[in-house]
Structure 1
Amino acid sequence: MTGLGRRALLRGAGGLGLSLLTAPALAACGSADATLVESGRVGVSLWTHDPGYIKTFETAVKDPALMRGSHFDYHIRATSSAPSDVVTRMIAQAVADGNTPDLAGIVVDQFPRVMGSSIAENLFVDLTETVRPSGDDLLKLAPYVVDGIPYGLDSDNSITVLYYRQDVFDKYRVPEDIETWEELAAIGERLYSRHRISLGMVATGDNGSIVNGFLQLLLQRGGGLFDATGELVLDSPEAVEVLEFMSHGVRTGVLLALPDPYGSACAAALKSGRLAATAMPNWYNAYGLQANVPDQKGRWRMRTLPRFAGGGHLASTLGGTAFTVLKGKPHTDAALELLRRVYLSREGQILRYRSGGFLPTLKPLYRDPELLGVKDAFLDGQQVFDVYGQAAADLPLFYQAPGMQILSDVLGGPVLDALKGRTSAAAAIKAGLDAYRQQVKR
């Protein structure tokens, strides 16, 4: 489809709305031809929601060792927008033959918006050959695979660990090496009944936070929302077990019900000592703990998650941002090379960790001497890669599907009802499944 044809289609759509038009328009139009730039000074256009990624890429292109041998002299032209706006503007610009980015950072919960109607296929470079040399060493690829083809590389392994107040554990004789969630819950019930201290939290605010908290433990237990083919797998004993565990935890005070893990209520709970442990990803250290309780530096530690007695994994994951390369643009080859250098090389992955704290997505890096020696000052000098290495070796796969956002929207309410004791875990899962199937008509 020509640019004129696209614009005519847009004009003809009138009041139908862009959301009804973009997917089929992209599938029909494909990518415009472009003369590739093969060397020289290149201004790579980068769209992202997080200044940390901008800093990382700007640092990377100035690193002589990382850029050695490149035919390109890079500089970054960055645009920062909200996560949803990155995707909305990118699709709108593509449909209108407008100014799309060369590199787009897509937050994991926004990626399902490009998984249907051939949107990813028409917008992004197929990364199959790019990732092939990494083989099974590359982690966190699954959420960005569409019909067997990878389109994005995650910026952070987002490994969930258990953060805990060592001073509180010492004071109340809570063992730091508890094996299972069930054992921790039994100890936590006594701790809450006597001292009103909780050892975890659940979100009760927006649907996204509610479902993310549930999903984090569901993945660890060995369950999931979708499988690798995009089929719904939520209807499982693991899903009911995890939600029952969470609901029981709220009723007994082991798990503290908060609107979300980041806001003022959570900050107050951390500051007062009412919340003395929480299962959250590596990035929560900076964005949750250090941001809210900097005065508690040296009191917190981290460890791998307790296992569920019934099975599953030692670790879980939550969050992430994948970078995609837009196809058919003058700087497509340059952007692809830059992504490969920064995201798929040892030097690039270490630079990303040093620059923004982003955990490596290549397995061998968890045994790298340079990272094994890293000590976290907030965690009283703990060598964190001792923990991350164990967790990375047993990290669950997380699959998405085009209906992911619909499922999150319809599942949040029933999960909240279960957490508040208004319904059973089994009934909540069934209600979410029924609402989802009505929405997607599958």
Structure 2
Amino acid sequence: MTTRETDSKLTRRTTLKLGATGASSALLAALAGCTGDSGSGSGGDSGDGGGDDAGGSDGDSSGGSSGDLVTKNRIGSADASTTLTHWLLPTASHTQEDNPEHAKVYEEFFETWAENHSDTKIELEYQTNLEQMKTKLLQSAAKGNAPSMSQVDSFWVPNFTDHLQPVTDAIENPDDWYPFVKDVMVKDGEWQAVWKNTDCRALYYRQDMMDKYNDGNPPETWDELISVGKSITENEDMAGYMYNGGKWEATTFDNLALFWAQGGDLVDDQGNPVLDESGNKEALRNTFEFLKRTIDSGITPKRVANINDYALLRQAALNDETAMFLGGNWQISNIKQQVDSEEEAENWQVSKIPQMDPDTASTGTGGWTVGVFEQDDAKRSAATDYAGLFTDKENMGEFCKVGGYLPTRKSVFEEVSYFSEDPYMQTFKQLLKNGRARPGYPIYLTISSEWQTAAGKVITGQASPEAAIETMIQNVNAEAE
């Protein structure tokens, strides 16, 4: 399917551009990707581990300052002759309660769209469970009765390739988007969805400990991490390094960066597992041997095998129980909110994840997209305009600022003051250059589950890295067959 003419695209983009909302500059803690720090009190539309809020009553009451253009279950005039449908979680709308500033941004986006589409309305259909939403959306799309558009986890997009309609007309300056975004979103020259926000993983470290034990610098390699961590563990009453090691998705996703940086791949272009290929198997073995080293060296306590919430890492950090941990970008906001002074907050710094080779880098990225399924030309154009609201540079900056997310466009980090003037955000900007999304194929769920099991056995000493990955590969291949 070809894109519409450039002139119409530019006219629509100019009309739909929304200026600054005037929301507070406070960054409320939220998660933009796959899992979240449950201690944050976030109201953001988090990906694979959050957003299970109920949709509330079915009444079509007013949404506030927008009057009858934006109500709880509708965007646009009730009298509009054309109707679109939009599936979304309550946390991805103006109805969210935990983050009023983010709700206000959504409301202003909705109102802007409604004012520019006077004869069209969007009926909002709230979904109450993430996995049920995915299953329902897959079934509806297969039957040809998908909603006009839907909130789609970036991780899901490859599952909907045969059903998503191009949103290329909504993309401003394709080269401005991070490579990991284009790797997933662009197929046969067309953009499948608008990836509106993301996140990343990083090494969190205490500057005072680095000053004392590593000349002020965070470790860049596994060997250096072990060395610095041992010095800290032996001389301070705290662990050197902690990470997610429990039975949950973050144990896989966070540590996948160690595997990816070695050039490892989980699946091929058809979604078939390739863990048993020599290079991938070696990268997998190296990764799990590193996890074993963290335990054997004493820098990491075995109790990380029970960490199944980012909040536990945050608590360890704030309780002086660890000098370094592998966490998500949103956690710096959590830390800032809970320490007693600015000086204490600034003692926690972030850097790239240490790798086996200092010249390599990788980090996992998640986040949400807006996908268009509508096939009617006129309706699809209106739905694409809605998705386009999130691509505008200023819009994306305000949306991500108040939601606690990272932008998917590089220029937002450079030209929106909140991101350009914050040293933490500038670090995340650099980390995203080596961002990578999980492969959105069904077999990944098995790979992740087996990874978590293998990690737990290695951490607790129940299996050697070699035995753990052999079992992992066998089980993944058996499921694939």
TM-score range for the pair, normalised by the shorter chain length: 0.7 to 0.9
Residue 434 (structure 2) pairs with residue 389 (structure 1) = no
> TM-score normalised to the size of structure 2?
0.67
Q: Contact (CA 8 Å) 2:374, 2:383: kept in 1 or not?
A: no
Q: Residue in 1 aligned with 2:245?
A: 204
Pick from 257, 263, 266: which aligns with 1:222?
Answer: 263
Distance 1:214 1:89 in 2: 30
Instruction: Render the CA deviation track for 1:99-136: whole Å, top value 9, x for unaligned.
Output: x5443223345x27x72xxx5413x2234565485146
- Aligned AA (2:445): Q
Counting only pairs closer than 5 Å after superposition, residues 3-402 of structure 1 correspond to structure 2 as 45-49=85-89, 51=91, 54=94, 59-60=105-106, 62=108, 70-71=116-117, 77=124, 79-94=126-141, 100-109=146-155, 111=156, 115=159, 119-122=160-163, 124-127=164-167, 130-131=170-171, 133-135=173-175, 137-141=177-181, 142-143=183-184, 150-170=191-211, 175-235=216-276, 236=280, 237-256=282-301, 257-260=304-307, 262=309, 265-266=312-313, 268-286=315-333, 289=335, 293-295=338-340, 298-300=343-345, 301-310=348-357, 313-328=360-375, 331-342=379-390, 344-368=391-415, 370-375=417-422, 383-396=423-436, 398-402=438-442
Tell me the number of residue pairs that the alignment of Structure 1 and Structure 2 aligns: 387
- Aligned AA (2:434): D
Distance 1:93 1:130 in 2: 25
The CA RMSD measured in Å over matched residues stands at: 3.8
Q: Residue in 2 aligned with 1:437?
A: 477
> TM-score normalised to the size of structure 1?
0.73
Distance 2:123 2:107 in 1: 8
Q: Contact (CA 8 Å) 2:273, 2:476: kept in 1 or not?
A: no
Q: Contact (CA 8 Å) 2:259, 2:283: kept in 1 or not?
A: yes
- Aligned AA (2:255): F
How far did 1:62 drift?
A: 2.0
How far did 1:356 drift?
A: 0.9
How far did 1:439 drift?
A: 0.9
Instruction: Render the CA deviation track for 1:333-379: whole Å, top value 9, x for unaligned.
Output: 3222111221x22122212222312211112333225245444xxxx
Cα distance change of structure 1 residues 405 and 346 upon mapping to structure 2, 3 Å threshold: same
Distance 1:395 1:213 in 2: 12
Q: Contact (CA 8 Å) 1:147, 1:229: kept in 2 or not?
A: no
- Aligned AA (2:135): T
Distance 1:50 1:247 in 2: 41
Instruction: Render the CA deviation track for 1:306-354: whole Å, top value 9, x for unaligned.
Output: 5424256434124322332222378543222111221x22122212222
Distance 1:339 1:62 in 2: 14
Q: Contact (CA 8 Å) 1:158, 1:319: kept in 2 or not?
A: yes
Distance 1:261 1:328 in 2: 41
Distance 2:245 2:226 in 1: 20
Q: Aligned with 1:202: secondary structure?
A: coil
Distance 2:138 2:172 in 1: 28
How far did 1:87 drift?
A: 1.0
- Aligned AA (2:332): N
Q: Aligned with 2:180: secondary structure?
A: coil
Cα distance change of structure 1 residues 194 and 210 upon mapping to structure 2, 3 Å threshold: same
Pick from 410, 414, 428: which aligns with 2:468?
Answer: 428
Distance 1:393 1:296 in 2: 32
Distance 1:133 1:263 in 2: 35
For structure 1, which runs of at least 5 residues remain unmatched after alignment?
1-36, 376-382
